């Protein structure tokens, strides 16, 4: 089961803030966030691990609620370069250990000048 | 340092044929994962290899297979191609399994099945 992202699309003016949410029905080992621009490969933004450890770009912030299996990505003072599709990916536990990275359907972010 | 390299960039195959895609990870990365990306289904996990062993497999038919070599390079094979296999196939590498430092993606191989 893939994680559920919301909203599906966001249109912002440059300088505005946005929050993208990701939730899973399964117990999570980690949550990943990636951004993909049209015609390009997804680019790693951040990973949030069970237990509170976070690794990623300094200008990106995110949260991970382990009890609710939810994560949020915070984009503040948005710039034109932030436009793209944001994917959350989840690694969950199953009977045999941790599963592979499963992605949500993505959130399309458009930043207007 | 060099990124993740996928070859070829584009492929056109006929239904029923088979295809092999190649992925060279970042030097030192031991984990390689494969994804299928389509407009309708998004990014779907195919499988992950770590130190030549398949660690995880997504929900794809047995026509999709892969392997990893001792130098961490990986190949995926799709046999008996179907029209629905047309997609962008992305490979991603990570230093360790489960992408504990995040995954770096290659530019992908665009497969078109006619």
A105 contacts in chain B (CB < 8 Å): 42
Mutate: best of A5, A51, A101, A103, partner B, most B CBs <10 A: A101
pLDDT at B114: 97
Distance CA B6, CA A102 (A): 21
pLDDT tens for residues A26-60? 888 899 999 999 999 999 999 998 887 888 876 78
**Interchain contact B66–A (C-beta under 8 A):** no
The pLDDT assigned to A68 comes to 92
Q: Find the residue in B nearest to A90 (Cα).
A: B98
Structure tokens at B70: 């001792």
Q: What is the pLDDT of residue A51?
A: 80
Q: Decide if B99 and A47 are in contact by the 8 Å CB cutoff.
A: yes
| pLDDT for position B14 | 98
A76 φψ region: left (φ > 0), alpha (ψ -120 to 50), beta (else): beta
Element (H, E) at A64: strand A61-65
The fraction of chain A above a pLDDT of 70, given in percent, is 96
Is residue A101 within 8 angstroms of chain B, CB to CB? yes
Which of the four pLDDT bands, split at 50, 70 and 90, describes residue A95? low
What is the pLDDT at residue A93?
A: 76
Spell B13-44 as b/e; 16+ CB within 10 A means b: beeeeebebebbbbeebbbbbbbbbeeeebbb
Check pLDDT > 90 for residue A1. no
Q: B42–A106: do the CB atoms touch at under 8 Å?
A: yes
> Could B102 and A40 be called an inter-chain contact, meaning their C-beta atoms sit closer than 8 Å?
no
**Average pLDDT of the segment spanning A84-113:** 89
* Backbone CA torsion sign across B65, B19, B44, A54: positive
Q: What is the DSSP letter of B9?
A: S
Q: Residue A53: closest CA among chain B residues belongs to which residue?
A: B100
- CA–centroid distance for A62 within its chain: 8
pLDDT given for residue B65 in this prediction: 97
> What pLDDT is stored for residue A17 in this prediction?
94
Average pLDDT of adjacent 10-residue blocks, chain B of 114 residues: 92 98 96 95 94 92 97 97 98 83 94 98
pLDDT tens digits, one per residue of A48-94: 988 878 888 767 899 999 899 999 999 999 999 999 999 999 998 77
Mutate: best of B26, B38, B40, B56, partner A, most A CBs <10 A: B56
Is B100 an 8 Å CB contact of chain A? yes
Looking at the complex, report in whole angstroms how far the Cα of residue A75 sits from the nearest Cα belonging to chain B: 19
pLDDT of amino acid A96: 66
């Amino acid at each position: 089961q893939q994680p559920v992202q919301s909203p599906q699309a966001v249109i912002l003016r440059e300088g505005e803030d946005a929050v993208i949410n990701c939730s899973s029905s399964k117990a999570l080992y980690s949550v990943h966030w990636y951004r993909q621009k049209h015609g390009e490969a997804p680019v790693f933004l951040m990973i949030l691990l069970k237990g509170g450890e976070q690794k990623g770009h300094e200008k990106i912030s995110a949260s991970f609620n382990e009890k609710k299996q939810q994560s949020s990505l915070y984009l503040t003072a948005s710039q034109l370069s932030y436009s793209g599709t944001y994917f959350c990916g989840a690694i969950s536990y199953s009977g045999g250990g941790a599963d592979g990275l499963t992605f949500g359907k993505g959130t399309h972010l458009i930043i207007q000048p | 340092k060099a990124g993740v390299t996928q070859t070829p960039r584009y492929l056109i195959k006929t239904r029923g044929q088979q295809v092999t895609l190649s992925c060279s990870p970042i030097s030192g990365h031991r984990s390689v994962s494969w994804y299928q990306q389509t407009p309708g289904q998004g990014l779907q996990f195919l499988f992950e290899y770590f130190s030549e062993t398949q660690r995880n497999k997504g929900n794809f038919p047995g026509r999709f297979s892969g392997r990893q070599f001792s130098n961490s390079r990986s190949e995926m094979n799709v046999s008996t191609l179907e029209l629905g296999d047309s997609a962008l196939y992305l490979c991603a590498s990570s230093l360790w399994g489960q992408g504990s430092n995040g995954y770096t993606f290659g530019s992908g191989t665009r497969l078109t099945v006619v």
